[in-house]
Amino acid sequence: MKTITKLFEDAFKKRNERGYPYLYVAVDLHGTILTPDKCTMFQTADGADKPRERQCSIGVKDSAPYLYAYETMKLISREFPWIKLILWTSTKEAVAAQYVLDLFATEGIKFWSINENPDFKGNAYADFSKKFCFDIVLDDKGGFDPNRDWFELFNLLRYMQTKDTQSETPDFVEVAKNLIKKYM
């Protein structure tokens, strides 16, 4: 599996080669940005996860952000206007818009949309009504390790702040290896 650094390196190269104005990053909420909401699942005696029958909060108040999650998204929101963050969540859109986006906005984190990419509506060859278009997805169920990858991504983006990555793409894999050696 590719590292988060390699995923971003490939996406930056593709963006630069094709002249795309934006990089679209879908970010899952629970288990990726926030620690999992403990009240939504319980384990049975046989070890299987079963949904609880009672109502639970959406997990924002009960869950803490992973280390470097907020810092990384703040950095993207502040310094990288060509990266559009899309909140990818099963939380109902009205609830997500009311509570989650307000919380992130107070932290300086800007999500461009929820569960869709309004820039891509579809055409004769593609239907984005059920699967929206994105370049990178950050999701714990898709291999994103929030305990490792937020740190790596934060340091990669900090490095990018000091370089002109709009016109050239540095070897991000080497950059990440050096950063990990320095900080780990």
- What's the confidence (pLDDT) of residue 175? 59
- pLDDT-flagged residues of the chain (< 50): 39-43, 50-59, 164-169, 183-184
Question: Tokens 């109502």 label which residue?
Answer: 55
Tell me how far CA of residue 25 lies from CA of 55, 59, 134, 136, in angstroms: 31, 22, 6, 5
Secondary structure of 94-159 as H, E, C letters: HHHHHHHHHHHHHCCCCCCEECCCCCCCCCCCCCCCCCCCCCEEECHHHCCCHHHHHHHHHHHHHH
- What's the confidence (pLDDT) of residue 121? 83
- What's the confidence (pLDDT) of residue 85? 97
Around Cβ 85, how many Cβ atoms within 10 Å? 21
Distance CA 170, CA 8 (A): 11
Distance CA 111, CA 109 (A): 7
- What's the confidence (pLDDT) of residue 53? 41
Count of structural domains within the chain: 1
- What's the confidence (pLDDT) of residue 112? 92
- What's the confidence (pLDDT) of residue 144? 95
- What's the confidence (pLDDT) of residue 83? 95
What's at 16, amino acid-wise? N
Distance CA 122, CA 47 (A): 42
Closest C-alpha among 26, 62, 34 to residue 146: 34
- What's the confidence (pLDDT) of residue 79? 92
Q: Using an 8 Å Cβ cutoff, are 66 and 146 in contact?
A: yes
Q: Using an 8 Å Cβ cutoff, are 154 and 66 in contact?
A: no
Q: Using an 8 Å Cβ cutoff, are 104 and 73 in contact?
A: yes
- What's the confidence (pLDDT) of residue 30? 87
Range(s) of the domain holding residue 117: 4-183
CATH code at position 58: 3.40.50.1000
| Coil, strand or helix at 32 | coil
- What's the confidence (pLDDT) of residue 84? 96
